[in-house]
Amino acid sequence: MIRSFRTTVLALACSLSVAAYAQTNLVRPVSIPAGDLVTALDSLARQSGAQFIYQADQLRGLHTPGVSGSLSTDEALKRLLAGSGFSVHHDASGAMVIVKGDGPRVPPSSSRSTSTSRPVRSGADPASATKLQAIVVTGSRIPRAQIEGPAPVTTITSQDIARNGFATVSDVMTSLTQNLGALDNNQSTDGFSPGAQAVDLRGLGPNHTLVLVNGRRIADYPQAYDGNSNFTDISNLPTSLIDRVEILSGSASAIYGSDAMSGVINFILKKKVDGTTFDYRVGDTQHGGGSSQRLQISSGFSKGRFDSVFGLELYETQPIWDYQRSFTDSRLDSPAKPSRIVAGHTFVRQDVNGNYLDPGKATCDSLSHLDQGSVFYASRSGYAPDNNGGPGYYCGSYDDLDYGTLENGRKSANFFGSATYHVNDHMDLFLDVLAGTSHQDSYNTSLKWLNCEKLNGDCTPTPFYNQATGQVEQWERNYFTLEENGGLRPGEIRNINNTLSLTTGLKGSFGHDDQWNYEASFGHSQNQLKSKWPALIAAKAQALYLGPSLGVDPDSGYQIYNAPISRFYTPLTVAQFRSITQDSIDRDKSRSEDWSFTLSNTELFHLPAGSVGFAAVAEYGNQYFGLKPDPLSLDGSYYGLHNAVAVGSRDHSGLGVEFSVPVFSQLMLTAAGRYDKYEYGANSSGKATYALGFEYRPFKTLLLRGSLGTGFRAPDLAYLYAGDSGSSSSGTDYYQCRLDEPDTGPDYYDNCSNGNVDFNGRSHGSTALKDETSKSLTYGFVYSPTPNLDFTADYYNIRVNNEVEYQDSDKVLREEADCRLGVDANGAPVDGNSSFCQQVESQVVRNSPTAGYNPNGITSVLVLPINAATDHTAGVDFDTHYRLATDRFGKFDFHAGATYVIMHRTRLSPDSPVDNEMTDIYYYLIPRTKANASVTWTYHDFTTTLYGSRMGGIPNYDGTLRLAPSFNYNATLSYNVTKNFNLSLAIDNLFDTKPRRDPTWTSYPYYYIPWNNPIGRAIFLEANMKLGGSHSE
C-alpha cells in the first residue's frame, strides 16, 4: 500500500505541473496613507491578498508617500516603493520579491522601526533570493528567502488563530492534523500534571516533540507526564502575543539536538509593533461556566540606537463544572441499562468478603439531605452478605460526580519584551524576556476514605475487627459530601506556576558585504510550580471513626477497634472534616541554561548554479529537574495520595554544521550533521545525527522535495532520577510453580497454587539508560500553478528505537524463574551466574526458604526503566490554499488540510509481538484521519471566516468498531470601524456539538476524554484599538 501511495504522489505531481497558467492582475480599490514602508506593505498585502518577500531590517526607517485609487497590485506596489531604492522581482510561483534596485534611495529617518524578518508562504527564485538578508525558517539555521524547504513546514499565523476562532494555544495545537496523540487535558484532573497541556506530533508521545519559543528551548514542566517522562507545557504561552507558529515534520536532531524526533514546533512571538495596541476580549459559554476575559497591550519605542517592543497579556477564565453539563451531571447519564447503573458509595459497610452490610432504609433516609438532597437507600446486585447473588444495600447518590471540573479556572499574566541596542551597523546587543504567572483551580472528586494501613509507602485499604459488631468489617466513605466539605473550595486543586525565559547576547555581521552573520547568546529558562492538593490524613480519619486500636485479632490478624456503626452513619461537621484534612503542597522546579554561538553565510562560495550556504552552531548547557513533593505523600500518611521524588541534573554540549548546495539551477541539496554529548552523574552518552534533503524545481511552479534525518532523545531526567515508589501488585510466581509443581504446560499457571500472589510493586529511575533514537523520511511536492493557488502533499515515515518503558513485572518474574532454575520454560539452559541473572534475581525479593510464614514467597518486585520499545508510524499530509479576488464581491480565501495515517506499529520489547494501533482498536483509541478547512470572505471592512474540523472515528470502549467521525465548526466576524478600531465576534463550536456518545462506554464521563470537548458553544466579543503609528487618525 505504501508503494502504491508513493507512485500516486509522483504521478499527481507530474500531472499537476502541466496545468500551470497565469492569472490576470485585477484592478481594485487601494487606500494606503503615507508613513512607514513596512506597515504600508503589510496593509497592501491584506488588501490585495498578494504575497511579498522582503527583509524588514533592510527597510528600516524608510517611508512611503502612500497610494490610493483603483490600481493593480503591481502598480500599487511600485508606487509605494517609489524613491526607496527598492524594486520588485516577480517570481513565477506567485511571490513578489522586494530587492535592492539601482535607483536613488531616500535616506533613512532618525527614528528606527522595531521590525524583524517577515515570513511568506510561497517560494522565490533562488537567484533573486540571494539579494535578500533572508530569514531563518524552522528546520534550518541557514537563512533563506523561501518558507518551503526539503522538509514540510506548516505555518499558522496570528491572523489564522484569530480568524479560525482559536481561544487558547491548546485550541491551536488541537487543530493541527499532525497532532495525533491521545493526551491528557483539563478534564484529566486525576493525572500527574493537571492543568498542563502537551502536544504530540504523530502520536509518538509528547516527549518526542521538541517545543521552541523564538527558536529557543524553554524549561520542561516541573512534573512528569503520566508520572514518567519530561515534556513541555504549552498552556502558559500567551495566545495574543504569538506572531506565528511553525511546525516541522520529521526528525531534526541534526539541527536542534535532543528531543526533535517526531517534529519541532516553534512559537514565534511578536517583535514588530506600529503604535500602541489595546485588545480586550470577553467570552462566555452557552451552558454555564467558562466565562473569560483577556486584555492585551503591545507597544514599543525607539530612541537613537535603541529599539524595544513589549506585550502584556492578562487572562482570566472561570471553571466549568460537571454539574453544568447535562451529559456529566449524574451517573444516570450512563448509556448502560438503568438496572446496571450503580449509585456512588456515600456510606458503605462491607464484610470480610467485600459484601455490603445493610444499613436499613431508615438510616439512609436520615441522610437524604446530604449532597443537596440526593442520598438514598441504594442497592447493588450480587453484593448480598450471604453470597446468595442478591443485592447488597448501602446509602448512595447518583450525583456524587457533579463536582469535578471539565475546564480549569485560570488567572494568568504574561509579559514578553525584546530590546535591541544597535552598537553599529554590524553589531547589535539584544535581550528577550518572556515571563508569566498563572493560578489554576481544578477539582478532581471529593476526598474519600477507607480504613487503611501504611504499606510500601502507600496507605493500603485494610479491614478491621469491629468489637462493637463482633465481625471483620471495612468502612468506606467513597466521597465526603458538599455539606461536610463546607463548599467546593476546600476540595480544589490549586496550581501556582511561575515561568521565566531570558535570552541575551550579541548578533551581527562581518566580512565582505556582511556575508557572515553571527549570534552569541546566553539563555536561562525556569519553571516553578507550587501545587496544592487537598489530602485526607489517614491516621486522623481512622482515629475519628474507629477510635484507638485495641490490639490484633488472633483469628483474622486484623487490628481490633470498638466502633459503633452509628458513628459511621453520622455526617461530619465542617470542623470535623477540616480536622482530618489539609493541603499537601509540592514545590517543583525545572531549569535550563544554555550558551550558544551560531555562524552562517548564505554565500560561502559560488558555484555555477548559485551560492553555497553554510551554518554552524556550538552549544553548552545544563538542565535541572526537581520534583519535591510533600514528605507526607511519600510514606502513606495520606489516603489516596502518593507521590515520588525525582531530583537531578545533567550537562550538555553540542556541535553542528549545515550546508545548502545548488547542484544546478533547479536542484538544491542540503546536508547537516551534529554531535551531542550528555553527562549525568558518573555516566555520559554521545550521539551523532545527520539530515539530508533535496529541493528540485523542474518548473518554477513545482517543487519536489524530500528529507532523510535521524533524531535522538537523551534519557529523561524524570526517568534517570525517579525516586523509590511502591504500590500493591500481584502476579504469577513462576519460580515456585515450576519448582514445586513442575508440570509447566502453557495453560498450567492458571491452576498453580502460586498462580496469583500479592506482592509489593516497586520502581525507581535508572542512570543506565541509553539514548532513544529515530529515523525519518519525508518526500512530497508543492505545486503553485498561479500566484493564488497552491497544493502540497508530503509522505512521512518515522521510526523510534530504544524507546524507554518500565519493565513488565510479569516478564521479570519469568526471567527470574529461568535464572534460578538454570533453564527456561522450553528447556534451554540459562546461565544463572551471568550479570543479567544477578540483576534480575536482585529485583525479586523473597522470604527465606526457612521462614515461618510464606517461605520463599515473593515480598517485592522491582521494575526499572529500560530501552526496549519501538514505535513506527507512516502517513501523508495534504494541504491546499486558494485566494480569489473579485471586483464586486470582495476577496475569498480557501484553505484545507488533512493527515492520513497509513500505519502505526508498536512493540514493547524485541521479543514481544508487533501491535498495529490502526487495527488493534481494543487497546489503541486513536483516529486514522484528521482534517480541517476554512473559508474567509473579506468585503470592504468586513471579514468573516467559517472554520471546520473533522476527526476520524475512534474505537468504541468494547473495541468492536470505530465510531462515526466527529465534526466541529467555528465562525468569526470582524469589522474595521475605523483604521484604528476593530470589533470582532467569534463563536466556537457553532452547532453546539457534544462529545460523541458511545453506548459501550459505561464509565464516567461516558466518553473518551482526550478526543472530546465538553465545553459546547462559546461566544467571544473582542475590541482592538491602536493609538499612534502610521495609520493613526
What tens digit of pLDDT does each residue of 642-678 get?
888 999 999 999 999 999 999 998 999 999 999 999 9
pLDDT at 91: 52
Q: Give the mean pLDDT of 63-85.
A: 79
pLDDT at 746: 53
Mean pLDDT for all residues in the chain: 87
pLDDT at 123: 34
Residues forming beta bridges with residue 598, ordered by sequence position: 519, 617
**Cβ neighbours for 979, distance < 8 A, ≥ 6 positions apart:** 1031, 1033
pLDDT surpassing 90 at residue 987: yes
Of residues 623 and 787, the one with the higher pLDDT is 623
Cβ atoms of residues 802 and 867 within 8 Å = yes
Residues forming beta bridges with residue 153, ordered by sequence position: 248
pLDDT at 799: 96
pLDDT tens column, 763-801: 889 999 999 999 999 999 999 999 899 999 999 999 999
Integer Cα distance of 694 and 389 in angstroms: 70
Q: Give the mean pLDDT of 456-461.
A: 80
pLDDT tens column, 931-944: 999 999 999 999 99
pLDDT at 26: 61
User: Which among 683, 916, 933 has a CA at the least distance from the CA of 164?
Assistant: 933
pLDDT at 133: 43
pLDDT at 273: 81
pLDDT surpassing 80 at residue 3: no
Confidence band for 321, pLDDT divided at 50, 70 and 90: very high
Q: Give the mean pLDDT of 268-294.
A: 93
pLDDT surpassing 70 at residue 1032: no
Quickly count: other Cβ atoms within 10 Å of residue 1012's Cβ: 20
Integer Cα distance of 347 and 384 in angstroms: 16
Q: Which CATH architecture is the domain 161-320+408-443+494-533+585-719+772-802+868-1027 placed in?
A: Beta Barrel (2.40)
Residues forming beta bridges with residue 699, ordered by sequence position: 702
Integer Cα distance of 11 and 683 in angstroms: 51
User: Which among 51, 153, 142, 433 has a CA at the least distance from the CA of 269?
Assistant: 433
Confidence band for 114, pLDDT divided at 50, 70 and 90: very low
Cβ atoms of residues 62 and 111 within 8 Å = no
Confidence band for 912, pLDDT divided at 50, 70 and 90: confident
Q: Give the mean pLDDT of 239-260.
A: 91
pLDDT at 45: 75
pLDDT at 35: 74
C-alpha cell at 303: 530612541
User: Which among 521, 196, 198, 570 has a CA at the least distance from the CA of 366?
Assistant: 570
pLDDT at 77: 85
The interaxial angle of helices 37-48 and 73-81, nearest 10 deg, is: 180
User: Which among 74, 251, 277 has a CA at the least distance from the CA of 712?
Assistant: 251
Kindly report which listed range (109-113, 303-307, 624-628, 847-851) carries the lowest average pLDDT score. Answer: 109-113
Cβ atoms of residues 790 and 148 within 8 Å = no
Q: Give the mean pLDDT of 804-813.
A: 91
Percent of the chain at pLDDT exceeding 70: 89
Integer Cα distance of 609 and 575 in angstroms: 82
The CATH number, out of the four listed (3.40.50.150, 3.30.1950.10, 3.55.50.30, 3.40.50.360), of the domain defined by the range 33-135? 3.55.50.30
Residues of the chain with CATH 2.40.170.20: 161-320+408-443+494-533+585-719+772-802+868-1027
pLDDT at 928: 94
pLDDT tens column, 551-608: 999 988 899 999 999 999 999 999 999 999 999 999 999 999 999 999 999 999 999 9
Kindly report which listed range (43-57, 131-145, 526-540, 976-990) carries the lowest average pLDDT score. Answer: 131-145
pLDDT tens column, 335-385: 999 888 999 999 999 998 889 999 999 999 999 999 999 999 999 988 888
Confidence band for 254, pLDDT divided at 50, 70 and 90: very high
pLDDT surpassing 90 at residue 748: no
Q: Give the mean pLDDT of 18-36.
A: 57
Integer Cα distance of 810 and 943 in angstroms: 61
Q: Which residue has the cell 551560531?
A: 598
Residues of the chain with CATH 3.55.50.30: 33-135
Long-range contacts from 951-956, C-beta under 8 angstroms, 24+ separation: 951/927, 951/1011, 952/927, 952/928, 953/927, 954/925, 954/926, 954/927, 954/996, 954/1008, 954/1011, 955/921, 955/922, 955/924, 955/925, 956/998, 956/999, 956/1000, 956/1001
Confidence band for 757, pLDDT divided at 50, 70 and 90: confident
pLDDT surpassing 50 at residue 131: no
